[in-house]
């Protein structure tokens, strides 16, 4: 059987494969026609060689050239928008409109153009000059970056199109994209666009390459390879931690976005004052996109009260009555069931759902579970099991002190939210809980659901382990996200003509530079 070719060194080539796979249409559970190869080390080795060769060219390339590539790529994507939306819908069951065509695609091209602007301005390199000592430093490209994209954003976090991709390329690195196995056809079109853009802008052949899948051991070998600079991974905790162990052992930076339950705390007074409104807001946020967002509110913390009971009742009704969306894949469905089993075995009460949905595709009924604070505190690790999808766990604490204790046992999360009354009657409770939550999350929100992740320089889509692998970096937001794929490069007494342009005394560009302590 002929499998789809892989993109190595600028050419679509027959894969050296150890197996093959097909994607499925999650709405019908039927296999889609194209057959994709599982690449052997031979493919990976060739890809790494081409990436290393591309990096030799790219590491001395002005940012403006990289910007031209990124812009040509964004244009190429727009030219194939219909194809992309069509196939992504088949492979993920995400709605064509507004989700894919009107939200995620513009976000993706917008991100690429922001990355292009950052590459062109060079501000991201943070040039620092110490004139008296003639020591100069800035961030520079780290080397070929492996990108493993997640299943839930086939465009905006796609391995050949998304945030990690844009950040890695804009920082001057070639990208080796490993497609997510649930949407290989979508990723292939992005790689076609990247190839065309690379040719149009005269970039090295290995700037963007694509393989669809490897066995786990080969994936691990890849992220430890000496030709690799760093890795970006978004996906399941198990696979991510295996890659992390391998990369850590080889001293290769790896940035992971793993699991996050994104706790939302509704403080007593605000729940009393507008519990019904909050129930609707929460239900809408949690079920949007069938709950398949990294920042989905998978845990709610309230303090026992009549208002809390009413809130829970309202959310339960809304979850029970809301339509059930299709999940991204059979493995998402299976993983949700497993998580629900773990939570119920640990004592969680099922308020609604956890059984199969009624659709023809992969689905699970909208699910709401409940535990007391005391139950949570008996086994906080198990109670933080992420049920990725249209599911949430409500924790009812006995009082604020128990709520604080619950928060203090949390693992790292991407986000944490606190809703509080406008009139100040929750302020003491806020002051008790917010400092505890602050250290556990990358992004702290007030009075707002965490689901939206603006592409902003002030965004932090990151957080303490195991939400990510390092709490100092963000995966969303240009230029911050680029620093993951950079190394700090210092020049000591290096002759003026040999310095990167941005560190020279006669630099004429617009980038802001910290010269002798002052931003100039």
Query: Taking the complex as a whole, how short is the minimal distance between the CB of residue 140 and a copy of itself, in angstroms?
Result: 8
Report the residue number, 322 or 432, with the smaller CB distance to a copy of itself. Answer: 432
Query: Taking the complex as a whole, how short is the minimal distance between the CB of residue 194 and a copy of itself, in angstroms?
Result: 24
Dist. CA 332–CA 326, nearest whole Å: 10
| The pair of three-digit structure tokens given for residue 162, joined into one six-digit string | 């998304």
Dist. CA 77–CA 74, nearest whole Å: 5
Dihedral pair phi/psi, residue 356, rounded to 5°: -70, 150
Interstrand relation of 299-303 and 349-352 (parallel, antiparallel or unpaired): unpaired
Report the residue number, 327 or 475, with the smaller CB distance to a copy of itself. Answer: 475
Dist. CA 357–CA 343, nearest whole Å: 19
| 294 annotated active-site | yes
Q: Which of 371, 373, 342, 340 is nearest to 354 (CA)?
A: 340
Token pair 């398949």 is at which residue?
292
Query: Taking the complex as a whole, how short is the minimal distance between the CB of residue 67 and a copy of itself, in angstroms?
Result: 17
Report the residue number, 240 or 357, with the smaller CB distance to a copy of itself. Answer: 240
Dist. CA 18–CA 40, nearest whole Å: 6
Query: Taking the complex as a whole, how short is the minimal distance between the CB of residue 496 and a copy of itself, in angstroms?
Result: 10
Query: Taking the complex as a whole, how short is the minimal distance between the CB of residue 456 and a copy of itself, in angstroms?
Result: 4
Tell me if the bond preceding 466 is cis, omega within 30° of 0: yes
Report the residue number, 114 or 385, with the smaller CB distance to a copy of itself. Answer: 114
**Percent helix / strand / coil, the chain, rounded to 5:** 45, 20, 35
Handedness of CA 228, 476, 287, 427 (dihedral sign): positive
Query: Taking the complex as a whole, how short is the minimal distance between the CB of residue 207 and a copy of itself, in angstroms?
Result: 17
Please count the CA atoms within 13 angstroms of the CA of 434 that sit on its side-chain side: 15
Strands of 230-234's sheet in order across: 11-13, 6-8, 208-211, 175-178, 145-148, 230-234, 254-257
Dist. CA 44–CA 21, nearest whole Å: 18
Dist. CA 487–CA 491, nearest whole Å: 13
Dist. CA 436–CA 444, nearest whole Å: 11
Dist. CA 222–CA 500, nearest whole Å: 30
Task: Let me know: does 400 contact 433? Beta carbons within 8 Å.
Answer: yes
Q: Which of 465, 474, 473, 470 is nearest to 440 (CA)?
A: 465
Q: Find the catalytic residue in 294, 386, 402, 411.
A: 294
Q: Find the catalytic residue in 24, 91, 205, 257.
A: 257
Report the residue number, 49 or 248, with the smaller CB distance to a copy of itself. Answer: 248
Question: Catalytic residue numbers?
Answer: 257, 294
């Amino acid at each position: 059987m002929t499998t789809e070719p892989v993109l190595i060194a600028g050419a679509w080539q027959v894969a050296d494969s150890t197996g093959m796979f097909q994607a499925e249409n999650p709405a019908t559970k039927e296999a889609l026609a194209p057959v994709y190869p599982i690449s052997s080390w031979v493919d990976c080795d060739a890809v790494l060689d081409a990436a290393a060769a591309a990096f030799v060219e790219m590491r001395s390339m002005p940012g403006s050239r990289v910007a031209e590539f990124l812009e040509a790529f964004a244009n190429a994507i727009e030219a194939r928008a219909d194809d992309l939306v069509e196939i992504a819908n088949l492979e993920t069951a995400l709605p064509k409109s507004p989700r894919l065509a009107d939200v995620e695609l513009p976000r993706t091209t917008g991100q690429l153009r922001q990355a292009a602007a950052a590459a062109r301005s060079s501000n991201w390199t943070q040039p620092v000059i110490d004139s008296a000592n003639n020591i100069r430093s800035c961030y520079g490209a780290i080397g070929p970056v492996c990108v493993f994209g997640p299943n839930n954003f086939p465009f905006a976090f796609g391995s050949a199109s998304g945030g990690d991709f844009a950040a890695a390329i804009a920082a001057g690195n070639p990208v080796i994209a490993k497609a997510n196995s649930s949407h290989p056809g979508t990723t292939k079109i992005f790689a076609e666009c990247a190839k065309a853009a690379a040719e149009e802008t005269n970039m090295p052949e290995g700037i963007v390459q694509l393989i669809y899948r490897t066995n786990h051991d080969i994936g691990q070998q890849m992220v430890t390879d000496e030709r690799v600079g760093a890795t970006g991974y978004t996906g399941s905790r198990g696979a991510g931690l295996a890659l992390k162990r391998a990369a850590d052992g080889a001293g290769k930076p790896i940035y992971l976005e793993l699991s996050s339950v994104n706790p939302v705390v509704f403080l007593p007074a605000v729940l009393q004052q507008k519990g019904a409104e909050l129930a609707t807001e929460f239900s809408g946020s949690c079920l949007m996109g069938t709950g398949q967002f990294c920042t989905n509110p998978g845990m709610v913390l309230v303090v026992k009260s009549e208002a809390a009971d009413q809130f829970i009742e309202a959310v339960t009704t809304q979850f029970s009555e809301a339509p059930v969306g299709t999940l991204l894949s059979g493995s998402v469905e299976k993983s949700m069931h497993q998580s629900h089993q773990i939570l119920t075995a640990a004592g969680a009460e099922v308020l609604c759902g956890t059984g199969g949905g009624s659709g023809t595709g992969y689905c699970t009924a909208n699910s709401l579970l409940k535990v007391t604070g005391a139950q949570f505190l008996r086994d906080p690790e198990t109670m933080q099991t992420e049920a990725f999808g249209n599911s949430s766990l409500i924790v009812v604490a006995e009082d604020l002190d128990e709520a604080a204790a619950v928060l203090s046992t949390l693992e790292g999360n991407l986000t944490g939210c606190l809703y509080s009354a406008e009139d100040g009657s929750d302020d003491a409770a806020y002051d008790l809980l917010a400092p505890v939550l602050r250290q556990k999350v990358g992004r702290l929100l007030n009075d707002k659901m965490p689901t939206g992740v603006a592409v902003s320089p002030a965004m932090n889509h990151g957080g303490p382990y195991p939400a990510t692998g390092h709490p100092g970096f963000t995966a969303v937001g240009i230029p911050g996200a680029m620093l993951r794929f950079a190394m700090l490069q210092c020049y000591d007494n290096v002759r003026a003509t040999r310095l990167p342009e941005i560190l020279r005394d006669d630099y004429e560009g617009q980038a802001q530079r910290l010269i002798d302590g002052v931003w100039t």
